Amino acid sequence: MTAGPLESRHWVPAEHSHAPLPPSTDVLVIGGGIAGTAMAYYLARSGVEVTLVERGELNREASGTNAGSFHLQLAIHQLSGQGAEADRERLLDEARLSLEAYSVWKGLGDELDGSLDLHETGGWMVAETPEQLQTLRDKYELERLAGIETEVVTGAELRRRAPYLAETVVGATYCPIEGHANPLVVAPLYALRAVEHGALIRTGTEVRRIDVNGDTGARRFTVHTGAGRIDAHRVVDCAGAWCGEPAAMVGLRLPVRSEGLHVNVTEPRPRLLTPMVQHIGRRLTLKQTDQNTFIIGGGWPTPDAPRPRRYPTSWHSAAGSTAVAVSVLPALADVRVVRTWSGVIVFTDDFSPVVGESALVPGFHACVSSTGFTFSPYFARRLAEQMTSPVASPFPERYSLDRAATGTLRREKR
C-alpha cells in the first residue's frame, strides 16, 4: 500500500522538535510555516548549518489553513494602476515569477519524495461585466508577453468548455498551469526533509528578543527565546503575519499588515468541476477536491482579534463567500457548508513580497509573501541560493526589507 498524504512519514518526530536549543547556529530561521520550512530545507540541502524555531507547532498558521490554490494568473490587486510603463514592467516581472513558481512546484513532489496532493487542473478567472472582461483581455496580453499561456474564452466556446458557469459570466481567461496542492502536507514534508539534511527544528520556541552584536561573525545575533538563548551568524524572518515583530526587535519596520481570512468547505457533490475558478472582480476562489467537496475561499475577512490573532469566523463572511460561489456556479445553490475556518494572512502595503537581506541590518533576512502558498517555495529556494552563493542574482529593489524604513531608522543604521 502506498502512503497517503497524511501518513506519519510526513512528520518530524516530536523527540527531535522538542529537544533543547543548540548554543549557536549559522542560520536561525524564525517560523515553521511553508516559508520557514522551505528555507530550512534549501539551506540544509546546500550544507548550511540551520536551526528553525517555531513558537507553536509546525504549519498551524497560514501555511496550514489556506485554500491551497496556485495563483499564477495576475490578480486584480496586481493589475490596479496598470498603464504606466513602470507598472507594465512590474507586471511582466510578476507574470514571469509565476512561471518560476510553477516550475518549482512541478518538480517538488519528486524533490521532496512524497505526495503533495498536487493537481495541475488549470484555472478559470471569470468576468461578469464588460469592464472586467476588458481587464482580463489586458491581463492576457501581459501574460502572453511574459510567456504564460493564458487564453481569453467567451460566448459559445465558454459555454461548451465550462457549462457549469452561470450565464452572468461574460468571459474568462483560462490558465492551464494553475491548480492546487494540500496545505496540510507541504510544510511538514519540507520540515522532515530539512531535518534529514541536518537542519534542527525546535517547536514551542518563541523568539522574544534579538540583540544585534557589533561584529558580523558567528555571534552577529543573540536570539532570546522562550526555550533559551542561541547565537546566530544570520537570521531569516519567516514569521508570516507576525514577521514585523522579529524585524522590530532589530530596529526594522516592515511594510506589512495582517488580516484574518475565511475558507469554507461544502459537503461532497457529484463530480462537476475540474479547473479552479476565481473571479477578477469579486472575492472568490473555488475548486472541487478529490473527495468531491468544494473549497470556497477568496479573501473574505474575519472579525479582528488581539494577538496572537486566532481570528473567529463570521456568519457574514461564511454566507457572503458561499453566495458568490453560488452566483458563479449555480449548481451549488442548495449545497451545505460543513466547515468554515480562518487563518491569518500577511499583506504588504504595496503587494510586493519582502524577500532578501536588509542593507540596514546586515545578516537579517526575510522571506514573506501574501500569496505565499504559491510563491514561498520559489522565494525560499532563491533566497537560500543567494545566502550560499555570492553570484546569485539579487531580488528586485521593490522586495527590499528596508523600503518602509523611517528617517529615524536610517540614522540608527548599525
For residue 80, what is its C-alpha cell?
Answer: 490596479
CA–CA distance, 311 with 314 (Å, rounded to integer): 9
CA–CA distance, 245 with 143 (Å, rounded to integer): 36
Q: How far is the CB of 113 from ligand FAD (least distance, A)?
A: 21
Q: For residue 386, what are the CA distances in angstroms to 15, 98, 138, 312, 379?
A: 32, 20, 34, 39, 10
Q: How far is the CB of 149 from ligand FAD (least distance, A)?
A: 20
Q: How far is the CB of 53 from ligand FAD (least distance, A)?
A: 5
Q: How far is the CB of 57 from ligand FAD (least distance, A)?
A: 8
Closer CB to ligand FAD, 133 or 205, in the complex? 205
- Of the candidates 236, 195, 275, 272, the one whose C-alpha atom is nearest the C-alpha of residue 354 is 236
Closer CB to ligand FAD, 102 or 133, in the complex? 102
CA–CA distance, 279 with 173 (Å, rounded to integer): 10
| Cα angle 61, 62, 64; round to 5 | 75
- Which residue ranges make up the site for ligand FAD (CB under 6 A)? 30-36, 53-56, 60-63, 65-69, 71, 206-207, 238-242, 245-246, 261, 263, 297, 343-345, 368-374, 376
| Cα angle 232, 38, 191; round to 5 | 85
Q: How far is the CB of 70 from ligand FAD (least distance, A)?
A: 7
Phi, psi (degrees; rounded to nearest 5) at 121:
-95, -15
Closer CB to ligand FAD, 102 or 373, in the complex? 373
Residue 401 C-alpha from the chain's centroid: 17
- Of the candidates 377, 379, 388, the one whose C-alpha atom is nearest the C-alpha of residue 47 is 388
Q: How far is the CB of 391 from ligand FAD (least distance, A)?
A: 27
* Residue carrying C-alpha cell 524577500: 355
| Cα angle 168, 326, 311; round to 5 | 130
Closer CB to ligand FAD, 57 or 87, in the complex? 57
Closer CB to ligand FAD, 4 or 308, in the complex? 308
CA–CA distance, 201 with 32 (Å, rounded to integer): 8
CA–CA distance, 100 with 270 (Å, rounded to integer): 35
CA–CA distance, 281 with 75 (Å, rounded to integer): 9
CA–CA distance, 220 with 222 (Å, rounded to integer): 7
Closer CB to ligand FAD, 154 or 386, in the complex? 386
Q: How far is the CB of 242 from ligand FAD (least distance, A)?
A: 4
- Of the candidates 317, 367, 369, the one whose C-alpha atom is nearest the C-alpha of residue 340 is 317
Q: How far is the CB of 21 from ligand FAD (least distance, A)?
A: 12
* Residue carrying C-alpha cell 528617517: 407
Q: How far is the CB of 300 from ligand FAD (least distance, A)?
A: 9
CA–CA distance, 23 with 398 (Å, rounded to integer): 35
Closer CB to ligand FAD, 35 or 185, in the complex? 35
Q: How far is the CB of 236 from ligand FAD (least distance, A)?
A: 11
Closer CB to ligand FAD, 158 or 295, in the complex? 295
| Cα angle 393, 397, 398; round to 5 | 125
Closer CB to ligand FAD, 120 or 245, in the complex? 245
Closer CB to ligand FAD, 261 or 332, in the complex? 261
Q: Which residues pair with 153 in a beta bridge?
A: 172
What does DSSP say about strands 364-368 and 228-237: parallel, antiparallel, or unpaired?
parallel
